[in-house]
Chain A
Amino acid sequence: MSAPSITPRSAVANSVWPRLEPLLPQVAKPIQYVGGELGAVVKDWDTAAVRWALMYPDAYEVGLPNQGVQILYEVLNEQPDVLAERTYAVWPDLERLMRAHQVPQFTIDAHRPVRDFDVFGVSFATELGYTNLLTAIDLAGIPLLAADRGDADPVVVAGGHAAFNPEPIAAFVDAAVLGDGEEAVLEITTIVREWKAEGSPGGRDELLLRLARTESVYVPRFYDVDYLPDGRIQRVVPNRPDVPFRVHKRTTMDLDAWPYPKKPLVPLAETVHERYAVEIFRGCTRGCRFCQAGMITRPVRERSITTVGQMVREGLEFSGFHEVGLLSLSSADHSEIGDMCSGLAQQYEGTNVSLSLPSTRVDAFNIDLAQELARNGRRTGLTFAPEGGSERIRKVINKMVSKEDLIRTVVTAYTNGWRQVKLYFMCGLPTETDEDVLEIAEMAHEVIRAGRAATGSRDIRCTVSIGGFVPKPHTPFQWAAMAPPDVIDNRLRLLKQAVNADRSLGRAIGFRYHDGEPSLIEGLLSRGDRRVSAVIRRVWENGGRFDGWSEHFSYQRWVEAAAEVLPDFGVDLDWYTTRERDELEVLPWDHLDSGLDKDWLWQDWQDALGEYEQDDCRWTPCFDCGVCPAMDTEIQIGPTGRKLLPLTPVNGLRVPSGAQQ
């Protein structure tokens, strides 16, 4: 028998733990600040040449499962001379205590002060995390404005989808990276390592210049923005030689060569997702015009069925998770999804492992896959996303599904044993009228009516879930006007009345929605320019935190801050949100290259207004969106023709290999 040993919390020289620990009994859910999860890594500080602090700017329960941070954390820590630790947004109760006791923003791995790191990387899935960025920077003791930082401060780098327009936070970040992070973090690491090894010549400015010269790291301070008298942007130009006019997104090709996460983090506190998530492909060319993710992650790159199988096996063995999520923007579109689902279902039949597939495609194939995954007896929920209520609006957004398809699909789900399905729609889409939204009620009624007829049962339900549309940069809707919140709220009220107009049917229909106000602010932040940073700062100074949480979000605070700050620039909240842009307007992100050709985006916007649909280039000829030639990439899809083989049952105890002890 091996002698049991007590592992002391490793003595870390620069740890804030002795000062943090006495505060923890006074805050809610203290375990979220403790670290030490399975999969967590603590490395020696002194022998690391480059040190990264990685942040997901939301609470631990939301941030820990984030795939982007987990992948980069692992990629960086695999480098022998690189150290990466994680930090998350602290809740206001701990923030107050940290300020009172001078405890700085810390990493949860070794509780080191964020300011001690070389690079502070922040991943933004949503713009509503911007105020949390300011809290973290400020708690870290880093000057809020990038311009005020010195050589002792880390380089603050923004990534994630929101980084495709980092202008609203340009004042607070030193750099932004567009696109896939796996190779980008290694390239940045190389530049920082060399610069430090040379004795940090030229200080911070030189380091940022070296990053900017890669043409794939955007350093806002090297660009000047000029404005026209009417408030629009005149131009954005580099203010020094050697800096590229446009900065290009990164694309990781061959996902089989990057099979991360290999050692997923297993949270100690409760989190929103507790599962092993595998990205089965990246990118989407379905061409839904509202979908920023689909536009900026092109081209489609599949991970092969065998790599997925291997990742699932090893990820489950390491973590002990009981749930596997096969993630992507439209998972049923993987060229070998059928074999993948049946192969995995067979491999894990009779075990406690459940498999899930985010299902948004509206067709019967989705149900076949869900049936396959339900072999272990547990049905995951079925969600279909027609997105638009009327045939007309679905042509505008390029979501090609007919009402008949939807009804047929949902009825198939009911007849196959599902008692409940979820239907997802958006409200506030370009050209939308009250009638377009009211058709959602008709659709839901027909779904229930047809479902009752087909099953002979009244025990079927559907939930209609409605999200507010927010126009995003690098999409055909980047020029569109947002509908004001009162218009949205009125449409939702009319829809609710229409759903409940038939009491029998209405009782079987659940209705979930968000009101229009948070969407409008998300719209301000997503299409904002550098002037919006003053609004963000004012909101944060007035107490704005955790804007993605309805109980913390204050619309009033944003409206007031915008009214205080923006008039000096001759613009206002409406100018950023409910105003339609014209073709020739310089958009704040025009100098940031997602690969999409702006002329193609404009043409697709015109096609939207003309209600013309656009096919998927995986199955029809290239429609010249511009990404592949601009980025020198190509579609990578199967089928490989390979199959998943039955697993050999593993007997005995499994000890997680490489777990930190």
Chain B
Amino acid sequence: MAYSQGFTPHPKISYASAAPTGVASEAEYLEIGLRESVDPAALRAALDAALSPGLDVLDAVVATGGSLVDRIEAAHWRIELPGADPEVVGAAVTAFTAADEVFVERMTKQGRRTFDARAAVIDINVIMPDEAPSEAVAVPCAILELVVRQVTPAVRPDDVLSGLRVVADLEPPVSPRVTRLAQGTLTAQGAIADPLDAGRDGAVIGGR
């Protein structure tokens, strides 16, 4: 691990668009600086051993230039709304996508801010569940999947839910369960590509 210089050195580590508190994620990325070159596979195993169960380090590649933040252009989210009627949620989504702008409010570190939650949403759909969530058998559950572009201020899944409340008075009966499924670079087709791909094949992203 490399450390910053100075009186109180900090480990060189930076997180690219970390998921908000209380949100599950299958795809978090971070960059760490090391003092010396190591085998990425050995590094992955060592980090994984030190972290809690459920915090799994899946892959590590050597950074090949360009910052990780530049490779995180969008995130793919799933929002489960236990107890919500998929048809009602579908209608809210239709109203949301039909709008040009949907302004929502959220407390940020800078205080209460109002911003558009619509423009950053590239794609939003109601998924028909193949099976009910395990602990909620026979209870209806609406599932949303959405792809949101990384913008400032960040548009988070709860902002999109606020947007659905603004356009269609959608109120989830219980706390939604939110999971980040993927994040990375946005392809021309609107798909999300693994931001570590560049490190794997040695290509340099963005030509910088």
* Nearest chain B residue, comparing its CB with the CB of A31: B21
Give 14 new A-B contacts, CB below 8 A, not counting A2-B41, A8-B53, A25-B21: A1-B41, A5-B56, A6-B56, A8-B54, A25-B22, A35-B52, A36-B55, A38-B50, A38-B51, A378-B7, A652-B42, A656-B50, A659-B50, A661-B48
Q: A184 to B57: give the CA distance in the assembly, Å.
A: 40
Chain B, residues 11-53, CB within 8 Å of chain A (1/0): the string is: 0000000000110000000000000001001111110111111
Do B53 and A654 touch across chains, with their CB atoms under 8 A apart?
Answer: no
* Nearest chain B residue, comparing its CB with the CB of A25: B22
Chain B, residues 54-71, CB within 8 Å of chain A (1/0): the string is: 111111000000000000
Q: Is the interface of B mostly helix, strand, loop or mixed?
A: loop
> Which chain B residues border A38 with CB–CB below 8 Å?
50-52
Do A22 and B175 touch across chains, with their CB atoms under 8 A apart?
Answer: yes
- 14 residue pairs of the A-B complex, CB under 8 angstroms, read A1-B44, A2-B41, A4-B56, A4-B58, A5-B56, A7-B54, A8-B54, A34-B52, A36-B53, A40-B52, A268-B52, A378-B8, A655-B45, A661-B49
Do B53 and A352 touch across chains, with their CB atoms under 8 A apart?
Answer: no
Q: A22 to B24: give the CA distance in the assembly, Å.
A: 12
Chain A, residues 3-18, CB within 8 Å of chain B (1/0): the string is: 0111111100000001
Do B22 and A30 touch across chains, with their CB atoms under 8 A apart?
Answer: yes
Among A1, A9, A655, which residue has its beta carbon within 8 angstroms of that of B54?
Answer: A9
Q: Which of A65-117 contact B (CB under 8 A)?
A: none
Do A653 and B50 touch across chains, with their CB atoms under 8 A apart?
Answer: no
Contact status of A655 and B53, CB under 8 A, knowing A2-B41, A377-B7: no
Do A4 and B59 touch across chains, with their CB atoms under 8 A apart?
Answer: yes
> Which chain B residues border A5 with CB–CB below 8 Å?
56
Chain B interface (Cβ < 8 Å from any Cβ of A): 3, 7-9, 21-22, 38, 41-46, 48-59, 135, 174-175, 177
- A37 in contact (CB, < 8 A): yes
**In the assembled complex, how far is the CB of residue B33 from the closest CB belonging to chain A, in whole angstroms?**
14
Do A655 and B9 touch across chains, with their CB atoms under 8 A apart?
Answer: no
Do A659 and B49 touch across chains, with their CB atoms under 8 A apart?
Answer: yes
- A24 in contact (CB, < 8 A): yes
Total cross-chain contacts (CB, 8 A): 70
Q: A447 to B50: give the CA distance in the assembly, Å.
A: 47
* Nearest chain B residue, comparing its CB with the CB of A652: B38
* Nearest chain B residue, comparing its CB with the CB of A654: B46
> Which chain A residues border B174 with CB–CB below 8 Å?
22
> Which chain A residues border B48 with CB–CB below 8 Å?
4, 661
Q: A7 to B55: give the CA distance in the assembly, Å.
A: 8
Do A4 and B44 touch across chains, with their CB atoms under 8 A apart?
Answer: yes
**In the assembled complex, how far is the CB of residue A112 from the closest CB belonging to chain B, in whole angstroms?**
16
Among B21, B49, B56, B135, which residue has its beta carbon within 8 angstroms of that of A656?
Answer: B49
Q: A306 to B174: give the CA distance in the assembly, Å.
A: 57
Among A2, A4, A37, which residue has its beta carbon within 8 angstroms of that of B52?
Answer: A37
> Which chain A residues border B9 with CB–CB below 8 Å?
352
Q: Which 3 A-B pairs have the closest CB atoms?
A: A36-B52, A25-B22, A1-B41
Do A36 and B54 touch across chains, with their CB atoms under 8 A apart?
Answer: yes
**In the assembled complex, how far is the CB of residue B19 from the closest CB belonging to chain A, in whole angstroms?**
12
Among A9, A22, A25, A656, which residue has its beta carbon within 8 angstroms of that of B53?
Answer: A9
- A660 in contact (CB, < 8 A): yes
Q: A656 to B174: give the CA distance in the assembly, Å.
A: 40
- A485 in contact (CB, < 8 A): no
Q: A2 to B135: give the CA distance in the assembly, Å.
A: 34
Q: A661 to B7: give the CA distance in the assembly, Å.
A: 35
Q: Which of A578-594 contact B (CB under 8 A)?
A: none
Q: A287 to B175: give the CA distance in the assembly, Å.
A: 57
Q: Which of A207-240 contact B (CB under 8 A)?
A: none
Chain A, residues 23-44, CB within 8 Å of chain B (1/0): the string is: 0111000110011111010000
**In the assembled complex, how far is the CB of residue B15 from the closest CB belonging to chain A, in whole angstroms?**
15
> Which chain B residues border A661 with CB–CB below 8 Å?
48-49, 53
- A325 in contact (CB, < 8 A): no
> Which chain B residues border A30 with CB–CB below 8 Å?
21-22
> Which chain A residues border B8 with CB–CB below 8 Å?
378
> Which chain B residues border A338 with CB–CB below 8 Å?
none
- A320 in contact (CB, < 8 A): yes
Q: A30 to B59: give the CA distance in the assembly, Å.
A: 27
Q: A38 to B44: give the CA distance in the assembly, Å.
A: 16
> Which chain B residues border A8 with CB–CB below 8 Å?
53-54
Do B50 and A320 touch across chains, with their CB atoms under 8 A apart?
Answer: yes
* Interface-central residue, B22, B44, B58, by most chain A CB under 10 Å: B22
Q: A661 to B47: give the CA distance in the assembly, Å.
A: 12
Contact status of A2 and B22, CB under 8 A, knowing A7-B56, A377-B7, A660-B53: no
Do B43 and A655 touch across chains, with their CB atoms under 8 A apart?
Answer: no
Q: A268 to B59: give the CA distance in the assembly, Å.
A: 22
Q: A451 to B8: give the CA distance in the assembly, Å.
A: 27
**In the assembled complex, how far is the CB of residue B31 from the closest CB belonging to chain A, in whole angstroms?**
18
* Nearest chain A residue, comparing its CB with the CB of B36: A651
Contact status of A653 and B43, CB under 8 A, knowing A24-B22, A25-B175: yes
> Which chain B residues border A377 with CB–CB below 8 Å?
7
**In the assembled complex, how far is the CB of residue B177 from the closest CB belonging to chain A, in whole angstroms?**
8
Do A655 and B50 touch across chains, with their CB atoms under 8 A apart?
Answer: yes
> Which chain B residues border A31 with CB–CB below 8 Å?
21
**In the assembled complex, how far is the CB of residue B132 from the closest CB belonging to chain A, in whole angstroms?**
14
Q: A145 to B119: give the CA distance in the assembly, Å.
A: 60
Do B21 and A4 touch across chains, with their CB atoms under 8 A apart?
Answer: no
Q: A205 to B127: give the CA distance in the assembly, Å.
A: 58
Q: A654 to B41: give the CA distance in the assembly, Å.
A: 13
> Which chain B residues border A268 with CB–CB below 8 Å?
52
Among A18, A22, A378, A655, which residue has its beta carbon within 8 angstroms of that of B46?
Answer: A655
* Nearest chain B residue, comparing its CB with the CB of A34: B52
> Which chain A residues border B52 with CB–CB below 8 Å?
34-38, 40, 268
Q: A36 to B54: give the CA distance in the assembly, Å.
A: 8
Q: A7 to B41: give the CA distance in the assembly, Å.
A: 17
**In the assembled complex, how far is the CB of residue A481 from the closest CB belonging to chain B, in whole angstroms?**
47
Q: A2 to B56: give the CA distance in the assembly, Å.
A: 13
Q: A298 to B4: give the CA distance in the assembly, Å.
A: 45
Do A7 and B50 touch across chains, with their CB atoms under 8 A apart?
Answer: no
Q: A181 to B57: give the CA distance in the assembly, Å.
A: 38
Q: A377 to B6: give the CA distance in the assembly, Å.
A: 10
**In the assembled complex, how far is the CB of residue B77 from the closest CB belonging to chain A, in whole angstroms?**
15
**In the assembled complex, how far is the CB of residue B28 from the closest CB belonging to chain A, in whole angstroms?**
13
Q: Which of A355-388 contact B (CB under 8 A)?
A: 377-378
**In the assembled complex, how far is the CB of residue A653 from the closest CB belonging to chain B, in whole angstroms?**
4
Among B50, B51, B59, B175, which residue has its beta carbon within 8 angstroms of that of A26?
Answer: B175
Q: A26 to B176: give the CA distance in the assembly, Å.
A: 11
> Which chain A residues border B3 with CB–CB below 8 Å?
352
Do B46 and A653 touch across chains, with their CB atoms under 8 A apart?
Answer: yes
Do B57 and A4 touch across chains, with their CB atoms under 8 A apart?
Answer: yes
Q: A352 to B7: give the CA distance in the assembly, Å.
A: 11
* Nearest chain A residue, comparing its CB with the CB of B49: A655
Do A7 and B53 touch across chains, with their CB atoms under 8 A apart?
Answer: yes
Q: A659 to B52: give the CA distance in the assembly, Å.
A: 9
Q: A660 to B38: give the CA distance in the assembly, Å.
A: 24
Q: A435 to B51: give the CA distance in the assembly, Å.
A: 56
Q: A380 to B48: give the CA distance in the assembly, Å.
A: 33
Q: A661 to B56: give the CA distance in the assembly, Å.
A: 10
> Which chain A residues border B49 with CB–CB below 8 Å?
655-656, 659, 661
**In the assembled complex, how far is the CB of residue B9 from the closest CB belonging to chain A, in whole angstroms?**
6
**In the assembled complex, how far is the CB of residue A618 from the closest CB belonging to chain B, in whole angstroms?**
38
* Nearest chain B residue, comparing its CB with the CB of A660: B53
Chain A, residues 643-655, CB within 8 Å of chain B (1/0): the string is: 0000000001111
**In the assembled complex, how far is the CB of residue A325 from the closest CB belonging to chain B, in whole angstroms?**
17
Q: A654 to B50: give the CA distance in the assembly, Å.
A: 9
> Which chain A residues border B56 with CB–CB below 8 Å?
4-7
> Which chain B residues border A656 with CB–CB below 8 Å?
49-50
**In the assembled complex, how far is the CB of residue A528 from the closest CB belonging to chain B, in whole angstroms?**
41
> Which chain B residues border A4 with CB–CB below 8 Å?
44, 48, 56-59
Q: Which of A265-294 contact B (CB under 8 A)?
A: 268
* Nearest chain A residue, comparing its CB with the CB of B59: A4
